[in-house]
Structure 1
């Protein structure tokens, strides 16, 4: 007899909750529309049957670019019930990134906000994204919202599918056959990677953490969860709790007052460290109300520092703080409560105990390697994953995990993870730039300001010779390995040139907060890579040019 536990099935857990709690509120949008669990189940099954009647086949992929609201969640679950796979796309991406990631899978269907189909010149807010020509690519389209000029002819209405009434028949929907190994979603890795990695999760890998995460986060039947994060909202639905969705728009970091006011009687929420920091500032300065029913804040997506946890307990006494460590390839891995964060005395960042079923080991170079029931099936077009190398440096004390930074360069900025080596060549392509280095300047919230340091090319870099090093620099290899005369060239015209050129080269989320022109960029190693540690130290108290 096998001791291997069958993974939980995502959809099965939610439909069971609907059967147990049919009259409880399940899902609410920011405009006040609420679906009871009975309504949710009916709408999900109607959507699945409507898709099937319009030619949707088991295994079909749905490009999904729909704002988080009840109709969007119904479409997501209905697609899975029809045996399909959701491929998440983000309307905040630039057109090139969106098109590349849409093309990285073999989707036959695409669901988008109605407004995204229209001419971008007449849209409210002048959204920059232009969708691919789906009909020309043979892709069937769905619209979330009213019909607008530009919506492809024959597009199915998302709300219309959910309201469909179909006769009883003997067909068992493919997604109701309880196959935890069936593919469910494709999620592109956070930040910008080249080429983009599309991570495939199964219904089992998604469902495996539902019970564990809900239990650890104390999300029970009577809880109200306020978040647009699926990995927190779906566990809420699986236990019969109420999932409320914030309004789409600026994050809590950008508009903490609106976020706080929207929470109402929510008992739980999920925030990134930068979001939590902004919310605490708004509450402490009495710009936003203290959430009256809040019991627990889940924090993740970036390092959660003890200083932020301490500040949260001071501003919101009685509200617990749970730091969740996980990633796209393997979902929640470990959880640390506020006590673990505040009482840790050794080096590193305590991430808490590994969740049940998660297995970890540390490689010879200190990198954390993980496996477990929430491990993704793999990447689109790649072999199956058996374990995942995280890129994080870590130590283990039994099942307690402590993080010690990244193995490779990575900058955490709000909701975006930025790999400097992808952007530095783009900056160096701007006329007048010889060398460029991106660095992150950490703050107490665990977020980082993005600073771009550039060294001019083809011109004297300073009034003084750099220890007989050449004054002209055209390649990274020509940069001095250890500049003996480092200075910031204040008011250098190259900064304005770069600032105007970068928006055409990189996406908005990766634009630097500050551009600094320096006499020389320090390098390290035989490859003359930028020495980011030295650069941070030098820019902490920069000497001016003379």
Structure 2
């Protein structure tokens, strides 16, 4: 798909591509950067680190590198200098492409950048640097778009993208996607979203926007203004972005909305439909397998079994279960972790089951709670907690002091919904949880972390412990009105503290 898209770019194409950028300008940027990279001595198989803010220039450099057969290592400047240094040491780029802002963050603007939680090490100490876009004083030499014929496209196989996911400064971890897996993933996204030419698509990453561009649709960031002004055919949002948009009263009239990167509840998809979405999809995807499965709001809402229905496997994706863990494979799967052997199957870390091609998850294996020698997987039960009036809910383990754990449900009510109303709606689901029923239910805002703003279970456990302890001190367990305990008599009267400890 990418090769066809790059080869089809025309400098006289006046159709919109990105905000303020026509396809003809994108074509000139891609070809100019490809010529410049080749003139800088880069060859197929070389690694280029990319530290450029999202926009037309970063897209153009990524496409130019792909055209030449280069491998792009994506650099996140929010990770901190030690982490970035360790990641680049693992990737060993021959060249770093950075805009002036990224270089300023690593030099004269470092004090200001730290206040904004941005930090990069000195880029020049890691590899030669070229500035993409406007060059400020003190920046490295510009990657100049020199005159020359557009290089012939690289037609072989090999690595395409390195995406860092986790790990420590001593052992960073990065996912390596090949040209084949990137192409298969983007084809899968295109077939799922079905973009039509001419109508805008909103999203935040190139890996979901490029299939729309390749289909002839202009793309733009998923802001509230763009949602109102552009009336898009499709929108990509993470669950926290969906909740924020709904809280702001956004409408999704006639749009197909896709949400992923974190668990997507049936209640959230239903809320999107009520806000006008023609379709609302939960997408199950990992950095290692993008995408893997999808489910529409109606099907997810009708699911009454245990666990989290993430839908049908997308064409070509295969799945099996080993020791309770879901394993995935297929053309959209990455090749390996950088520095490791190729995958046989990708271990997702998710507990799950597969019925035909339907996948139901039971939570992360590492999130298992051990209470009274019983293994409790939160993902099996959390979907049932997302009743009307609940915005987000987690089951977390809280140390009991004797090696055992207590199970606490941390519930985040939707804005304006009384606690008493939420309690009443939760009684039935709690009764049906059997031996996994929580020892306490407390109200609070679920902590989020990471670029995708996933629930932070470690922080949630600490918050749940603090709220539960506070209620216990005010109302000792012998005086608690319900068992397993709600957060004290104050909770029974609808006065539970919903703030931070």
Fold shared by both chains (TM-score > 0.5): yes
Aligned pairs, how many?
Answer: 413
8 Å CA contact 1:92–1:129 kept in 2: the answer is yes
1:15 correspondence with 2:6: yes
Q: Please give the alpha-carbon distance, in whole angstroms, between the structure 1 residues aligned to 2:177 and 2:269.
A: 31
Give the CA deviation at 1:324.
1.0
Q: Is this contact kept in 1: 2:320–2:326, CA < 8 A?
A: yes
Whether the 8 Å contact between 1:120 and 1:126 is mirrored in structure 2 is no
Matched, 1:271 2:271: no
Pair 147,450 (structure 1): closer, same or farther in 2 beyond 3 Å: farther
Q: For residue 321 of structure 2, what is the aligned residue in structure 1?
A: 362
Aligned with residue 134 of structure 2, among 128, 132, 146: 146
Q: Distance in 2 between matches of 1:44 and 1:55?
A: 17
Structure 2 unaligned blocks of 5 or more: 370-377, 409-449, 470-482, 491-501
The offset of 1:394, in angstroms, is: 1.6
SS at match of 1:340: helix
Distance across 1 between alignment mates of 2:100 and 2:399: 42
Q: Distance in 2 between matches of 1:189 and 1:122?
A: 26
State the shift of 1:243 in Å: 1.9
Give, in whole Å, the separation in 1 of the partners of 2:190 and 2:317.
16
Residues 362 and 276 (structure 1), Cα distance of their counterparts in 2 relative to 1, 3 Å cut = same
Q: Where does residue 347 of structure 2 map in the other structure? A: 389
Among 229, 238, 250, the alignment partner of 2:205 is: 229
The residue matched to 2:354 in structure 1 has which SS?
A: strand
Between 1 and 2, higher relative CO (CA 8 Å, sep ≥ 6) is seen in 1
Gaps of 5+ in 1: 1-9, 247-251, 412-438, 456-478, 487-505, 521-536
Alignment of 1:113-124 (within 5 A): 113-118=99-104, 119-121=108-110, 123=112
Change (3 A) 1:446 1:210: farther
More helix by share: 2
1:305 aligns with 2:241: no
Map 1:57-96 onto structure 2 (within 5 A): 57-96=43-82
Provide the C-alpha distance between the structure 2 equivalents of 1:543 and 1:27, rounded to a whole number of angstroms. Answer: 58
Give the 3-state SS of the residue equivalent to 2:98 in structure 1. strand
CA distance in 2, matches of 1:319, 1:392: 30
CA contact (8 A) 2:352 2:359 kept: yes
- C-alpha distance 314-63 of structure 1, shift in aligned 2 (>3 A): same
CA displacement 1:145-185 (0-9 Å, x = unmatched): 43224323xx224xx43xx432x48x63xxx1322x32110
The 5-angstrom pairing of residues 67-466 of structure 1 reads: 67-118=53-104, 119-121=108-110, 123=112, 126-137=115-126, 139-152=127-140, 155-157=141-143, 160-161=144-145, 164-166=146-148, 168=149, 172=152, 176-179=153-156, 181-189=157-165, 195-245=171-221, 257=224, 260-261=227-228, 264-283=230-249, 288=250, 290-291=251-252, 294-316=254-276, 318-363=277-322, 365-409=323-367, 444=386
Compute the TM-score of the two structures, normalised by the length of structure 2: 0.72
CA apart distance, 1:308: 0.9
State the TM-score, normalized to the length of structure 1. Answer: 0.67
Does the 8 A contact of 1:358 with 1:371 survive in 2?
yes
Q: Which residue of 2 aligns with 1:424?
A: none
Question: Cα–Cα, structure 1 residues 394 and 122, in superposed 2: closer, same or farther, change >3 Å?
Answer: closer
Q: 1:202 to 1:448 in 2, by over 3 A?
A: farther
